[in-house]
Amino acid sequence: MSLARLVDVHTHVYLPRYAALLRSRTTLPRIITSSREGKPDDRLFILDRDTGRPVGSQYWDRDEKLKFMDRHGIDMSVVSSANPWLDFLPASEAQTLATQLNEDLEQYCADSPSLSPSLKRLYGFGLLPLVPEISTAALLEAIEQISKLSHLKGIIMGTRGLGKGLDSEDLDPVWAALEKSGLVVFLHPHYGVDVEAWGEKDNGHVLPLALGFPFETTIATTRLILAGVFDRFPSLRLLLAHSGGALPQLSSRLASCIEHDPVVASRLKHDARWYLGKLYFDAVAYGPEELGFVSDVISRSQRYEAGGSVPTNTAVDRALGSRRMLFGTDHPFFPPLQPTEKWKSVVENLQAIDAVTGWGQVEKDGVRGANALSLFNLV
């Protein structure tokens, strides 16, 4: 077993202030409290057609986060607010709450135990008030606020932007400021795809979570590529949830569709596959084959370095791609259905990293933590 640090970059919280807001609401998203066997019973409703799920202190209490980390050998976590963030609020409320929640998260991290004289156990992703009608000035102020909070190392963002999606040019000043700040942008889904796609059978939350979430990320990232955002802001650091969804699998098809489309064919500076090598991917994929495949696709992007040159047949260096992949748990989501010491969702992701063919100890340690330390400049 390696002694290298284990760092969780995909782990969520509903900060107490936000949980209180969810409790006060009468429409989605909300927490409904009822009584079960004489005890208060909190249930969270956030998704379209959500049937609810139990929520408790593991969603908001920092001690519970630290206990979970200890139980799974996680040294450090970069914690983010869970979906749906501020998406449902009017602009002025979103702006005020973003400022407060960023302060709250800074405190949550700053007061966490130290791992070494210079490192805490908890760091965070802040929030921007990304809602329709918000002013650009308010967004830039939020980026400035987060940049000054020393324990916040990035921002978490959904896919709606200001209501028109992330490919809207209205967001260019935001991308420019984020690029300049060096903050990592964690792109995370919430809406999935049209619920009609799921049919009428009750399949719990399986279809929206297993398929809807990753497809939402796939679509949002593809739209960013197509809009030339990575051409205009080449140093933007974007971390994709759930290993980038289906984008790695579909990237050659995307490249071909672009090449054959008169509207888009000459728009981008690079072959679509090149952009995947500029992104970061969490390793929340649950299987070694998937992780290996994603690292191949990232590695392969270098073949497209010269503006879409013809790929060679040289074997891809799988290890190279691993440097852009980072361990995550999705805690406190996906708790075991029956009480167990360790959560299967965590154990499986760790076992997957360990079992990727072609990754040596250096690559595995990188994905487990060293890549995160480097990406977030945690030294």
The CA distances from residue 293 to 103, 127, 212, in Å, are: 39, 31, 21
Report the C-alpha gap between 27 and 10 in whole angstroms.
27
Q: Which is nearer to ligand 5CU, 69 or 138 (CB)?
A: 69
- Of 3, 26, 6, 68, the closest CA to residue 332 belongs to 68
Residues 12-51 that bind ligand 5CU (CB under 6 A): 12, 46-47
Q: Residues 11, 83, 299, 301: which binds ligand 5CU (CB under 6 A)?
A: 83
**Residue count, binding to ligand 5CU (CB under 6 A):** 9
Q: Annotate 72-83 with DSSP letters as a single string.
A: TT--EEEEEEPT
Q: Is 192 left (phi over 0), alpha (psi -120 to 50) or beta?
A: left
Residue 51 or 340 with smaller CB distance to ligand 5CU:
51
Q: State the minimum distance, in angstroms, from the CB of residue 110 to ligand 5CU.
A: 24
How far apart are CB 212 and ligand 5CU at their closest, in Å? 10
**CA dihedral (54, 19, 217, 292) positive or negative:** negative
Question: Tokens standing for 40?
Answer: 């208060």
* Closest residue to ligand 5CU, based on beta-carbon distance: 333
Binder of ligand 5CU out of 209, 250, 257, 320 (CB under 6 A): 209
Least spacing, CB of residue 7 vs ligand 5CU, in Å? 18
- Here the tokens at position 210 are 């297993």
* Nearest-approach distance from CB 282 to ligand 5CU, in angstroms: 11
Helices (H) then strands (E): counts for the chain: 15, 13
Residue 220 and residue 150: Cα distance in Å, rounded? Answer: 29
330 is a site residue for ligand 5CU (CB under 6 A): yes
Q: What whole-number distance in Å separates Cα of residue 327 and Cα of residue 285?
A: 10
Closer residue to ligand 5CU in complex, CB, 55/177: 55
Q: Is residue 333 near ligand 5CU by the rule CB under 6 A?
A: yes
Min separation Cβ 12 and ligand 5CU, Å: 6
Closer CB to ligand 5CU, residue 83 or residue 99? 83
Indicate the residue among 102 and 217 with the shorter CB distance to ligand 5CU.
217
Q: Of 214 and 369, which CB lies nearer to ligand 5CU in the complex structure?
A: 214
Q: Answer left, alpha or beta for residue 114, where phi above 0 means left and psi between -120 and 50 means alpha.
A: beta
82 binds ligand 5CU (CB under 6 A): yes
Contacts with ligand 5CU, residue ranges (CB under 6 A): 12, 46-47, 82-83, 205, 209, 330, 333
